[in-house]
Amino acid sequence: MVNQKKKSMFRKVDKNLNVGLVLAGGSGKRMGAKVEKQLLFIDGTPIICKSLEVFFSCEDVDKVALVCPKGKKELYTELVSSYFDKNEVLDRKLLCVVEGGSTRAESSLVGLEAIKEVCGDQDVAVLIHDGARPYVTEDIIKRCIYKTWECGSAIPCVKVKDTIRTDKETLPRENLYSVQTPQTFMLSDILESLNSAIKKGFELTDDASAMEIMEKKVFLVEGSYKNIKITTEEDLPKMIRVGKGYDVHRVEEGLDCVLGGVFIENSKGMVAHSDGDVLTHAIMDSLLGAAALGDIGRHFPDSDEAYRGISSIELLKHVGSLIREKGWEIVNIDATVICEKPKISPHVNRMIENISEALCIPQNSVNIKGTTTEKLGFTGREEGIASESVCLIQSAKPQS
């Protein structure tokens, strides 16, 4: 039951509503990751946020309630607020965040009771959705809403593609469906059904099962084969991104020449706010670009005295951490230093060691080479040193 002391958190509403109830209370043991599967990333976005985003953006959904794991209400509240940056749609649509129970049915019940506490005896259609189904579409949501107000319930389904059998017989495939979410019901009906089924000790695989136990009709609507539930590592899409970076610094007599974290004897060095390591700067920009995280100027502005003279390898470590935090892993880096002097080849191995160590990737994932412009342009005139980098990143595997 919802703690009565928290009633004041909820703002009362005064019209018939369509309310999304997104369930993210499970532990995701079958995924084998260090965190709940709904906190894993797809294309740099937490799965639970991708699921919520569809409900927030659907004009037919008035409010959204989120059920999170026990003891993690603050974490999930901060995550959602951070991802949606406390924007207008979040303020307008997020009804509440509540902690779930030990089973899916109990989590559904907790969320439904929280909605009931806000809405009272009003007519409410509740869309109960798995937080680990990030590919639900507004069309599916709308079909469920319209069918529920017309018939009292709606569950999205797709016909099975494989032949299904028991240990004794093959089942007629034309009569078999895969059930998806959001499973949608009138609030009073599903509350009564779930309460009764739980009290009677039924093991429920979904919310529609509770309705059927109470002999209430469940109506089917068209789902989508893309509306999958993320359950195991195989369900996670492998996203691949390419990034390109370029940097150049003017050189002057008597300054340090640092490339790839290596101090190289040279008559000229880089004019820069940091150590002027153009190679490392280009690599950072390629990584940030691949992950859609801006550029080094955004993260390490030259107007900030904290970065004056700082080692670019230290900045690279920070960029590597950002990439990992966003759910990406680095596949490889290919970088080129463009200058007449100094010669790069004697120092390449040490550069690779520094960069691979800073990014926590194997040395064979880093390639560095040097070239000249045959004395053409500003690099050919030894007025500056340039570098460019291309990288490949991919969505990381869950950490077990």
> What SS3 class is residue 252?
strand
Q: What Å distances lie between residue 351 and 135, 178, 320, 393, CA to CA?
A: 42, 53, 16, 20
What is the spatial distance between Cα 87 and Cα 20, in angstroms, rounded to a whole number? Answer: 18
The single-letter DSSP state of residue 56 is H
pLDDT of residue 232: 84
255 neighbors 384 (Cβ within 8 angstroms): no
277 neighbors 313 (Cβ within 8 angstroms): yes
pLDDT of residue 12: 42
204 neighbors 109 (Cβ within 8 angstroms): no
92 exposure class (CB count in 10 Å sphere: 0-12, 13-18, 19+): exposed
Helix (H) or strand (E) holding 138: helix 138-151
339 neighbors 380 (Cβ within 8 angstroms): no
- Planar angle of CA 209, 125, 158, nearest 5 degrees: 50
pLDDT of residue 121: 84
What is the spatial distance between Cα 63 and Cα 196, in angstroms, rounded to a whole number? Answer: 26
Torsion from C-alpha of 87, 88, 91, 95, nearest 10 degrees? -110
220 exposure class (CB count in 10 Å sphere: 0-12, 13-18, 19+): middle
153 neighbors 218 (Cβ within 8 angstroms): yes
The single-letter DSSP state of residue 34 is S
Q: Give the domain ranges of the chain.
A: 4-235, 240-395
Give the count of beta carbons closer than 10 Å to the beta carbon of residue 372.
Answer: 15
What is the spatial distance between Cα 355 and Cα 260, in angstroms, rounded to a whole number? Answer: 7
220 neighbors 177 (Cβ within 8 angstroms): yes
Give the count of beta carbons closer than 10 Å to the beta carbon of residue 63.
Answer: 22
The CATH label, of 3.40.190.10, 3.30.1330.50, 3.90.550.50, 3.30.750.24, for the domain at 240-395 is 3.30.1330.50
Tell me the CATH class for 4-235.
alpha beta
The residues, ordered by sequence, that sit 6+ positions from 349 with a Cβ below 8 Å of its Cβ are none
pLDDT of residue 14: 45
In the block, residue with structure tokens 């797709």: 158
Question: Digits of tens for pLDDT over the chain (400 positions)?
Answer: 333 333 333 334 445 799 999 999 866 565 655 678 898 888 778 999 999 999 999 999 999 999 999 999 999 999 999 888 766 777 889 999 999 998 999 999 999 999 999 988 889 999 999 999 999 999 999 999 999 999 999 999 999 999 998 998 998 888 899 999 999 999 999 999 999 999 998 988 899 999 999 999 999 999 999 999 998 888 887 889 999 999 999 999 989 999 999 999 998 989 988 999 999 999 999 999 999 999 999 999 989 899 898 999 999 999 999 999 888 999 999 999 999 999 999 999 999 999 999 999 999 999 999 999 999 999 999 999 999 999 999 987 765 4
Query: Which residue type does 145 have?
Result: I
pLDDT of residue 135: 96
- pTM of structure: 0.70
Query: Which residue type does 19 have?
Result: V
User: Measuring CA to CA, which residue among 275, 274, 278 is closest to residue 305?
Assistant: 274
The single-letter DSSP state of residue 35 is S
